[in-house]
Amino acid sequence: MRKLLSIVSFLIASSTAFAQGAHEFKINEVFVHYSCEQCDTVKCPSESYVDEYGEPASWIEIENSSYSTHDIRKCFLTIDPAVLDKNMSAPEREKHMSLISAGDPRTSLSAKQRITFFADGNTNRGTLHLNFTLPTDEPFTVYLFDGNAVDLIDSVRVEPMVAGSSYARIGDEWNVVPAEQVTPNAPNVSFKSNAVKEFKEKDPYGIAMTLMCMGVVFSCLVLLFVFFHIFGWAMNRAAKLARVRAIRAIHEKAAKMVEMAKQGTTETKGVEIETYAAVIGLALHEYFGGTHDLESGILTITQTPSTWSDKSHELREVPQVITQN
């Protein structure tokens, strides 16, 4: 019975831990691949990131948002809205989704790590390939389901975008990212506040940057000058106060020595006044206090009789001989 309870407890704890780990995964970026005929540029921007076979494809990036390692194996990805039907059983729902296979070490994600799955419909190419493709001319929603095919972990709706761009999560908001800032398997970069680019556009010759740098340097020099000036004044002030205290102590000792010299020559005959006063006080105490009783100076010895000195006690009696008739 105890073994059965232990096994059940272990399974419950394991499933709970796995569920908590699975819910740490978030859809981080979605890229829709356009064919070269759909691209307006000379070089197709969607070919910047390719799969293991060197072919470009649409992809979905998943991020482990926690600070611990979790495995995304046996989770499901899909864009089929039919999986939202609550009356559908789990086995039926699995038929509309793409399973992330187990056994691939790449599915184990450490803290803040990301993994990219190719939505090309070619699952025979490996673990990172899904059984569906992403449409280019109509909106769709990407769903990430837990391993039980019932719990929805995360989802995002993607509208049609310009070729080469992606739909990325930056902070808590989703934005369309231009082609030059698409970041597969890397943190998403905010395109709204590119300070370097804006500064370069507003100051092409670097005059404002030069003045700013010179201002920072001279400001630091002024602050250092003020600091060392105040620090030097404080150190000189402390040194002067220490010298004043030392000189004052010397004057006090000299005055005391002069006073002792005066008292020694006139009043105490070379003895310090404190010692002199202590001797006089002790003498007066001995004289008036009387540490001993008055005695006549005569020693009287009185003999006290004691049986201990009786000589008879020191002799033994002579034993008597008794004769019998």
pLDDT tens digits for range 21-51 = 678 899 999 999 887 655 544 445 545 688 8
Predicted confidence band of residue 215 (pLDDT cuts 50, 70, 90) = very high
Whether residue 39 is found in the same domain as residue 128 = yes
Q: Is residue 313, in this structure, part of any structural domain at all?
A: no
Does residue 227 surpass a pLDDT of 80?
yes
Give the SS3 label for residue 167.
Answer: strand
Q: Alpha helices, DSSP H only, in 171-289?
A: 195-202, 207-266, 273-289
Q: pTM (2 decimals)?
A: 0.54
Consecutive H or E run containing 174: strand 173-177
Q: Is residue 256, in this structure, part of any structural domain at all?
A: yes
* Structural domain total, the chain: 2
Identify the residue whose tokens are 């206090």: 289
d(CA 49, CA 185): 10
Mean pLDDT of the region 205-225: 90
Among 12-16, 36-40, 59-63, which is the least confidently predicted range? 12-16
Domain that holds residue 101: 22-193
Instruction: Select from 128, 101, 121, 144 the least CA-distant residue to 33.
Output: 121
Whether residue 131 is found in the same domain as residue 268 = no
Whether residue 45 is found in the same domain as residue 176 = yes
Percent of the chain whose predicted confidence (pLDDT) is above 90: 42
Confidence at residue 289, expressed as pLDDT on a 0 to 100 scale: 65
Whether residue 176 is found in the same domain as residue 222 = no
Predicted confidence band of residue 250 (pLDDT cuts 50, 70, 90) = confident
The letter for the amino acid at 127 is T
Whether residue 136 is found in the same domain as residue 247 = no
Burial 97-106 (b: 16+ CB within 10 A, else e): bbbbeeeeee
CATH code assigned at 26: 2.60.40.1260
Confidence at residue 202, expressed as pLDDT on a 0 to 100 scale: 79
